Amino acid sequence: MSLLELDNVTLAFGGVKAVDRVSFAVEEGEVFALVGPNGAGKSTIFNLISRFYSPQEGDIRFDGHSILDLAPEDIADLGIARTFQNVELFEQATVLQNLLVGRHRHRRTRLWQDILFTPFVRREEVRHRIAVEKVIEFLELEPYREKYIQGLPYGVRKMVEMGRALAMEPRLILLDEPASGLSVEETQDIAFWIEDMRKLMGITVVMVEHDMNLVRDVSDRVLALADGRVLAVGTPREVQTDPRVIEAYLGPEEDVA
């Protein structure tokens, strides 16, 4: 059984079919990339999996169960974490606090315990902080631990967002353009981290990415989309040499030229 399955999923905004009868399955432990030109529907697929949008047709299953009857808030509990294309952080909070919010799904304390800050809350806080500290070490965020998000450089913010997703200790992580706007070195770091996520942490990764080098380096399988439709699925090499994919990428450029 696949970890994540999209089955004939369709979503239209007005007349625009952002996602058009898309089906694919992601296996546990794999790195799966979604590629395609701007407006292909990649982020919309993430928003569908997060339940921010509801498909008009089709089904989305995680671990064999449909998630369509769940609210967006329940998705985290399944162990699905995500980042956003535009980086959505808690701006007026520190890096540490941001990562600790990632621990929300592991929360076991009740309101009255929080107010009294009972010994149990203290133990729980230590437990959360140990988990978060591991992420900080992994992503080398130590210099920024106590810093407020609002003054941080873009690259660091992206790392914090990824860290917040990892602090959730998810089974599946959805990364929306993890390398966009990053330098060459930072992109290489991302490649290593994605490898480690899969190998050391056992997390299944689905990522949207425009950087084909990164996609080729880290992903097992690639799905190419255009105009909401699946063009091809396969290994990075297979997809890159697929005539329909080449046409989708080059077609518009020829029009412009």
Partner 1 sequence: MRIVFKTSHDADIRLWKHGAQLFWYLLLLAAAVALPLLLDDFMLGEATNVLVWAIAGMGLMLLVGHAGQASLGHAAWLALGAYADTLLQTRAGLPFLMSLPLAAVISGLVAALVTLPIMRLHGIYLAIATLALSVLTEDIIILAEPWTGGVSGLFAPDIEIFGINFNRYTNPDGLYWLVLAITVLITLGYANLLRAPTGRAFVAVRDSEISARAMGVHVARTKTLAFALSAAVTAVAGALMGHMAGVFNNETFNIVISIYLLMMIVIGGLGSIHGAFLGALVIGFLPQAIALLRSALAGALGIGSITIPGLETAIFGAILVAFLLFEPRGIYGRWIVIRTWFELFPFYRRDMFRRQRSYLKTERMR
Ligand X SMILES: Nc1ncnc2c1ncn2[C@@H]1O[C@H](COP(=O)(O)OP(=O)(O)OP(=O)(O)O)[C@@H](O)[C@H]1O
- Using CB under 6 A, list all residues that contact ligand X: 13, 16, 18, 36, 38-44, 85
- Min. distance of Cβ 208 from Mg ion in angstroms? 6
Query: For residues 14-43, which are near Mg ion according to CB under 5 A?
Result: 43
Partner whose binding site includes residue 102, from Mg ion, partner 1, ligand X, none (CB under 5 to 8 Å by kind): partner 1
Question: Of the two residues 47 and 240, which places its CB atom closer to partner 1 in the complex?
Answer: 47
Residue 15, burial from CB neighbour count under 10 angstroms (0-12, 13-18, 19+): exposed
Question: Of the two residues 84 and 90, which places its CB atom closer to Mg ion in the complex?
Answer: 84
Q: Closest by alpha carbon to 164, among 132, 193, 140, 188?
A: 132
Strands in the chain per DSSP E: 4-13, 16-26, 31-35, 57-62, 65-66, 80-82, 172-176, 204-208, 221-226, 229-234
- Min. distance of Cβ 175 from Mg ion in angstroms? 11
Size of the site for partner 1 (CB under 8 A): 48
Q: Cβ distance 160 to 89 under 8 Å?
A: yes
| Pairing relationship of beta strands 204-208 and 221-226 according to DSSP bridges | unpaired
Residues making contact with partner 1 (CB under 8 A): 43, 47, 50, 52, 72-77, 81-82, 84-86, 88-93, 96-97, 100-105, 107, 109, 111, 113-117, 121-122, 125-126, 129-130, 133, 150-151, 164, 168
